[in-house]
Every structure is written in structure tokens, then in C-alpha cells.
Amino acid sequence: MPMRPADLDRVRALPLFSDCSDATFRDVTAGAFLQRFPPGTTLLLEGDQVDFLYVLLDGIVELEGTWNDKETTLSILKPVSTFILAAVVLDADGLMTARTLERSDILMLSGEAIRRAMKADAGFACAVAEELSGCYRGLVRTLKNQKLRGGIERLANYLITQKVRLGGEPTFTLPHEKRVLASLLGMTPENLSRAFATLTDYGVETKGAEVTIGRPAVLERLAKPTPMIDNHQPVKGGPTGKAQRERWPVAGDRTQAA
Amino acid sequence: MPMRPADLDRVRALPLFSDCSDATFRDVTAGAFLQRFPPGTTLLLEGDQVDFLYVLLDGIVELEGTWNDKETTLSILKPVSTFILAAVVLDADGLMTARTLERSDILMLSGEAIRRAMKADAGFACAVAEELSGCYRGLVRTLKNQKLRGGIERLANYLITQKVRLGGEPTFTLPHEKRVLASLLGMTPENLSRAFATLTDYGVETKGAEVTIGRPAVLERLAKPTPMIDNHQPVKGGPTGKAQRERWPVAGDRTQAA
DNA sequence: CTGATGGCTTGATGTTCATCAAGCGTCGAA
DNA sequence: TTCGACGCTTGATGAACATCAAGCCATCAG
């Protein structure tokens, strides 16, 4: 499928590429191709060799892990995001299965070209390192969330994070099916249901996918959110990488601090 | 404290630095200093500003996370390892507390110098990206381990991994206190004790910190280890980064594949 | 309209895990 | 040596969570 110039611009605007030279960008995107996938398509299977860096331009994709006939979703990606960067950098097998949740436009960049570009363009290599750092920190947050909090607390914090990211309005709509949310939060759909029921006592009303947080203070007292686990960075309009998410000045702006 | 040339050589041999130019290495190590810490010393607190890249030259350090008066250990590092690289790259606050478990020799490199070197030396920036990729994949494994397996299965797989990493002998000694191991595996010391008791039925004998795996096949049938979660890469003699750990050819050597 | 499907909810039940409490053994200091 | 501290173990109990089963409700094809 041909790449439209508009798509190319969106990729160029990614933090990953916004700083690299024109030559690097041309080299990396030369053999690229854009593809549209229907919902439920498996893009990459756990253990597959990874030949491409994927860029989600439109749609939603889920990263999941499997063991012993059980599966769990590790992350849910929205546009514009790259994924399986780490496997590409190391030229290793993928550790996660990638699957579309909705119809998605996905750009595929040659992994070999990426690695070549890193060696040639220090700015690009730095951008890759920054993106990876952001991904890493995201996972640290997820792991702490999983090991330190119980199911109800995870849901409460998810709702608070979602609220601020969607603009801060007291009522918003869940971006995914509840069964997907359950897997992301590390619980069964049944227990997610019960957790929502429990949160009624804390001012959380739900009607289908519509959620309204009636008494934020009460919910927060239960959730005890902290910047060491929860990243309340609002999703701004422009395309943003995982790195920028982590740059958010939690306490005091340090851009000129050192 | 003065840096001995021998220490400098060990750092130079790290995958992080083995490929970078002499100039870069000199720049990065110029303002470095080596420090020896007693056991139980907190090197860095969750949320602290991170000004240095730490390199563990000798000893053991634990990375832990905290929430609501609970704590959990996220990783245990052996020499030679770097830590909090991601925070350094992004010039962000640390997400984990770092504490020595034993007396440790730790080299501290200026974070600013690291970032400067990355911009100047593409080879170094690539090495940073590779190290971060290795750390990222390690966390993915940990998260899958945590979300998909139960406590006994986690212990069983830990023992199997430990066995192969320590040379494959049926009997070996646990490298940490059991309370630390429990926290790493995401359970209480009490339940770790009970899990060991359960594993007696699977041929696992324990006498203090000495563990012997009597019937490996039986234990494996319970543990169901998989390269998608467990990294059975043996710890070779030389200093090895997290990246090399992930480069292990799981199925077929691809070093010359592309 | 009818029926089937699939996501969600609710209840009943059992497993897993944490907590509380007590006891045992080892080690180190007085 | 004696005492106390600490790590580990074991038992009893309760909380959190998964599983199984049934039912509700919206959507959609026939």
C-alpha cells in the first residue's frame, strides 16, 4: 500500500524521528510500507522473529503475553505509537503477541534500516534510547502497580488516570471493552464487574461504558495515587512518544536545572 | 575515593562502553568516583533526582518499589551491572529505591556526561539503546511471570533458572536471604516457606540455603519454563550487560542472518 | 419478530494468598 | 555461657481472587 505524504509527516513528527537528519529519515522510510488491518488481526506472535519496527498510525493494538493456555494483556497502544522497538534494536525474537483491537493503519519500517540508522546518526540513536527509557519506566510503573496494589485499587487508579487524561471531566467513557480492561488490570472479567460494584460506595457510577466519578476526593482516598506509579500526564493533541510521557515535570521543572 | 586502573578496565569492558571511542570513555569517566558502601545502605530513594549513572562493581544491590507502606523488590543486581540508566537518559526522577544488600563498590558516572556522550558518539548511544532494550525485555519477562503464574510456579521456575545459571549442578545455594527472594517473587516469607515445602513432593530438597533438585524432569513438568518468560542464559565469566542476556540465540543463531 | 450470539453481571463455591501468632534454630554481644 | 535478636518455619484464620454456572440485555441475521 502506498504511503501518503500526510502519513509520512505524522511519522516525521514522532519524537523518535523529529530530531534525526533528513538523510536518516529517508533511509529508514525508504523500504517502509503502510498496511491496514481488520480488528482482531494478529500482527506478531510471541516468539516470532521481528523484522520490522511497527508504527501505529490509526486504530488500537494490544500487546499480550501467554503462558500455559492463559493470556494477559501487557499494554494497549493508541496512535501514534511505535512498538517492539526493543526487539528491533537487539534483533531478537518478540516477547509479546501484537494484535489489533480495532481496524488499524500500521506502518512497518525495516528493522535492519533502523539499526543501520542508529549507527550512522547519533541523534537518532539518542531518540531511540529515550523512547526505550520511556517504555522501560512505563513497565516499572506497571509492575509496581501489579505487585503492590490489589484489584480494586488498580481499578480505582485506572479510573483516576483515565479521567485526567481525557480532560478531567467527571464523566467519561471507557476506551476499551471491559474484558480487555480486566486483562490489562490483571483480573478476571467477573472480578472487574465486582470491583466496579464495590466502587459504587466510593461515588463511582457506571452505565455501560460510561463512568462518572461523583466524589473524586473519596475515590482518591481509596486509590492513593502516586507519581511513582501513576503517570497522570494528560494526552496532548500532538503525537507523543513514551519518552515525553516520562519527562513530565512531576515536581518542579528541571529543563534548565543542570 | 580514587579509581584504580583495574576498576576502570572492568568498566571499559562493559558492553555499554566496550564499543565507544576512547575520547567518549575519557569524558564519561573523568568526573567519576568510586565509593564503597556498607550493607543496607540506601543509595537512592524512590522519587529522588538522579544525577549519576551507577555501576555496581562489587557486591549486591536491590531495586525496590514502595506504595502504601508496602514494599516489593523489583530486581536484584550482581556485578558488573549498571542501574537507573533510563532515569539518567531522560534526566528524570528515579522510580525505584536502590539499596545495597551486601558491602558494595559502586562507581558513579555523571548523568550529564552520559547524555553528552550519547549525543557525540553514535556508537555509545547505540550501546545505551541496546542496554535499555535488554532491561526492558527483562521487565517484560518479570511482568509476565507475575501476571501469568502462581507463587509455586514462580518459585519452581526461579529454581530451575538458578540451577542452569550456576552451572547446572543438581545442588546449589540460594544467593539471597529467603525473605528477599520472597519479595522478588512477589510473595510473603511465610508463603515462600510453604511453597518450598510443597516442592518437596517434586523432588526439591532444602537444607538452609542449600537447594538440591532431585528430579529435574518432575519439577519442569510443574514449572513449564519457556524462553518467552525465563531467560536461562548462563552467567559467563566476563562482565555482561542486560543486552547480551537477551541476545542469547533461543532457536538458531541469527548473528549472521541479515 | 424470532432466535442466536456475545459481552456483562451476579451468585455460589473453592483455591490461593496474606495475616496473625507461636515456636525453633542460629548467631553475635554482653 | 546466657541472652536477645533475627530469620525461618508452621499452624490457624480470614481476605482476595478464580472458577463455574446461570441469567440479563443489547445487537444482529434470518
Is residue A252's pLDDT more than 60? no
Q: Given CA atoms A33, A38, A39, A45 in this order, what sign does their dihedral have?
A: negative
pLDDT at position B147 is: 98
pLDDT at position B236 is: 64
B226-249: pLDDT as tens digits: 999 999 977 765 567 888 888 865
Is residue B254's pLDDT more than 50? no
pLDDT at position A200 is: 98
| Rounded-to-integer distance, Cα A252 and Cα A249, Å | 6
A104-139: pLDDT as tens digits: 999 999 999 999 999 999 999 999 999 999 999 999
Does the distance separating the beta carbons of A134 and B139 come in below 8 Å? no
On the 0-12 / 13-18 / 19+ scale of CB atoms within 10 A, B138 is buried
- Asked if the Cβ of residue B39 lies within 7 A of any atom of strand C, the reply is no
pLDDT at position A78 is: 96
Q: Sorting pLDDT into bands at 50, 70 and 90, what band is A203?
A: very high
Residue A86: which of A64, A58, A115, A60 has the closest Cα? A115
Q: Give mean pLDDT, residues A221-228.
A: 98
Q: Give mean pLDDT, residues A74-95.
A: 97
- Asked if the Cβ of residue B65 lies within 7 A of any atom of strand C, the reply is no
Is residue B74's pLDDT more than 50? yes
The answer to whether A163 touches A210, Cβ cutoff 8 Å, is: no
pLDDT at position B165 is: 95
Instruction: Compare A236 and A164 and report the one with higher pLDDT.
Output: A164
pLDDT at position A218 is: 98
B173-224: pLDDT as tens digits: 999 999 999 999 999 999 999 999 999 999 999 999 999 999 999 999 999 9
Is residue A168's pLDDT more than 60? yes
Is residue A232's pLDDT more than 80? yes
For B150, which DSSP code? -
Nucleic chain C: which protein residues 138-197 of A have CB below 7 A from it? 177-179, 189-190, 192-194, 196-197
Does the distance separating the beta carbons of B141 and A143 come in below 8 Å? no
pLDDT at position A238 is: 58
- Please list every residue in chain B whose beta carbon sits closer than 8 Å to the beta carbon of residue A114: none
Is residue B132's pLDDT more than 80? yes
Interface test with A, best of B130, B142, B146 (most A CBs within 10 A): B130
A177-188: pLDDT as tens digits: 999 999 999 999
Q: Sorting pLDDT into bands at 50, 70 and 90, what band is A96?
A: very high
Task: Provide the mean pLDDT of chain B.
Answer: 93
Is residue A7's pLDDT more than 80? no
Among chain B residues, the shortest Cα distance to A144 is held by B65
For A30, which DSSP code? H
Q: Give mean pLDDT, residues A57-67.
A: 97
C11 C1' – B123 CA distance, angstroms?
A: 61
Rounded to a whole number of angstroms, the distance from the CA of B12 to the nearest CA of chain A is 20
Interface test with B, best of A53, A114, A116, A144 (most B CBs within 10 A): A144
Task: Provide the mean pLDDT of chain A.
Answer: 93
- Asked if the Cβ of residue A244 lies within 7 A of any atom of strand C, the reply is no
Instruction: Compare A3 and A76 and report the one with higher pLDDT.
Output: A76
pLDDT at position B257 is: 37
Question: Which residues does B161 contact at the CB level (< 8 Å), separation at least 6?
Answer: B225, B230, B231, B232
pLDDT at position B8 is: 85
Does the distance separating the beta carbons of B135 and A91 come in below 8 Å? no
Cis peptide bond N-terminal to A80, omega within 30:
yes
A143-163: pLDDT as tens digits: 999 999 999 999 999 999 999
D2 C1' – B115 CA distance, angstroms?
A: 58
Rounded to a whole number of angstroms, the distance from the CA of B123 to the nearest CA of chain A is 6
pLDDT at position B194 is: 98
Question: Can you name the residues that pair with A62 across neighbouring β-strands?
Answer: A76, A99
% of chain A exceeding 70 in pLDDT: 92
pLDDT at position A53 is: 98
% of chain B exceeding 70 in pLDDT: 92
What SS3 state is found at A246? helix
Rounded to a whole number of angstroms, the distance from the CA of A163 to the nearest CA of chain B is 21
Q: Which nucleotide is nearest to B191 (CA to C1')?
A: C17
Rounded to a whole number of angstroms, the distance from the CA of A109 to the nearest CA of chain B is 15
B138-183: pLDDT as tens digits: 999 999 999 999 999 999 999 999 999 999 999 999 999 999 999 9
Q: Sorting pLDDT into bands at 50, 70 and 90, what band is A6?
A: confident
Q: Which nucleotide is nearest to A189 (CA to C1')?
A: C8
